[in-house]
Amino acid sequence: MRFLWLICLLFSLSAFAQESKVFDDLTVKSAILKKDKKFALYLPPGYENSQRSYPVLYLLHGGGDDQTAWLQSGNMQNIVDREIREGRIPPMIVVMPDAEMTFYLNSAAGKYQFEDFFIKELIPHIEKTYRCRAEKRFRAVAGLSMGGFGSLLYAMHHPDLFGSCAAFSAGVRTDQQIREMPHQEYLRRYRTAMGELKETDNRITDFWNQNSILYLIQKMPEAQKKAVRFYLDCGDDDQLLYKGNAEMHTLMRDLNIPHEYRVRNGGHTWEYWRSGLPDALQFISQSFL
């Protein structure tokens, strides 16, 4: 293990004679979504002048943002560069798709199947186009807020695909919070995924349960509990999502689902997510060795 880490470190130092590269307006043609979908891409230093293959992190944005958010607001290029340069993580490819306001779900009406696109089209496209290590342990997913929800959803729906998952301020809400959410706020957040529900409609449907992180945790088969390494991080001043994240931690603890849970000083802000990204990258990287 130490020998492999040393090799990664030596490679990283030599590679930094070159620079990382980012592309913020790439597209992949989607037959499922019937349009081209945008994504951003980070290639580590040395990628263009090597023949090696790299682990991949799928890094998901929050609601109201797009594929550029982690680059422009999250400073991810500089953070990942620094972590690689200082030997704390190995070089990796980072993919940041544009999910609009889908919550990374297949829609309830079946009209916009983003999860199917992500699993069946985006991942195969990335692994065909770039030099990726395609084994599960070298594929990770992470995200913030809506993207934190998406990262947990994909890790729980597809534990055969992802070795680790890191969720910042994940968009996880209790059933009570969903029921009590003002109708216009509910539509603003969930219209794309859940459809145009009326104010009197039941929100806790079978479809909701199939995609509710708290429900998925409660129903997780014993054999799946150690399939993915989970990292959860939510600020103690996050008025939007602290309750759901705390409930998620409690459920995982009580059901013996291994995970790391971090509560730090801060709210639902980019400052919080930027400051937490290095530790999450280091956690994810443990699966890459």
pLDDT average, residue stretch 18-37:
97
pLDDT average, residue stretch 221-235:
98
User: What's the confidence (pLDDT) of residue 195?
Assistant: 87
Q: Has residue 125 got a pLDDT over 80?
A: yes
Compare 13 and 20 and report the one with higher pLDDT.
Answer: 20
Predicted TM-score (pTM) of the model is 0.93
User: In terms of CATH, what superfamily is 2-288?
Assistant: Alpha/Beta hydrolase fold, catalytic domain (3.40.50.1820)
User: What's the confidence (pLDDT) of residue 11?
Assistant: 53
pLDDT average, residue stretch 224-230:
98
SS3 content of the chain, % helix, strand, coil (to 5): 45, 20, 35
User: What's the confidence (pLDDT) of residue 5?
Assistant: 52
pLDDT average, residue stretch 8-26:
73
Compare 2 and 167 and report the one with higher pLDDT.
Answer: 167
- Indicate the range of 23-37, 133-147, 183-197 predicted with least confidence: 183-197
Residue-wise pLDDT for 263-288, tens only, equals: 999 999 999 999 999 999 999 999 99
User: What's the confidence (pLDDT) of residue 4?
Assistant: 55
Q: Has residue 7 got a pLDDT over 90?
A: no
Residue-wise pLDDT for 35-68, tens only, equals: 999 999 999 999 999 999 999 999 999 999 999 9
Long-range CB contact pairs, 16-19, < 8 A, 24+: 16/45, 16/46, 16/84, 16/85, 17/45, 18/45, 18/46, 18/48, 18/49, 19/45
Residue-wise pLDDT for 153-209, tens only, equals: 999 999 999 999 999 999 999 999 999 999 999 999 999 888 889 999 999 999 999
The mean pLDDT value of the chain amounts to: 95
**Per-position DSSP letters for 223-261, written without gaps between them:** GGTTTSEEEEEEETT-TTTHHHHHHHHHHHHHTT--EEE
Each domain of the chain, given as residue ranges in start order, spans 2-288
Q: Has residue 12 got a pLDDT over 70?
A: no
User: What's the confidence (pLDDT) of residue 258?
Assistant: 98
pLDDT average, residue stretch 102-127:
97
Per-position b or e across 148-166, b if 16+ CB within 10 A of its CB: bbbbbbbbbbbbebbbbbb
User: What's the confidence (pLDDT) of residue 18?
Assistant: 80
User: What's the confidence (pLDDT) of residue 21?
Assistant: 98
Q: Identify the band that residue 13 occupies on the pLDDT scale cut at 50, 70 and 90.
A: low
Q: Percent of the chain at pLDDT above 70?
A: 94
Check if the beta carbon of residue 135 is closer than 8 Å to that of residue 287.
Answer: no
Q: Where on the phi/psi map is residue 87: left (φ > 0), alpha (ψ -120 to 50), or beta?
A: left
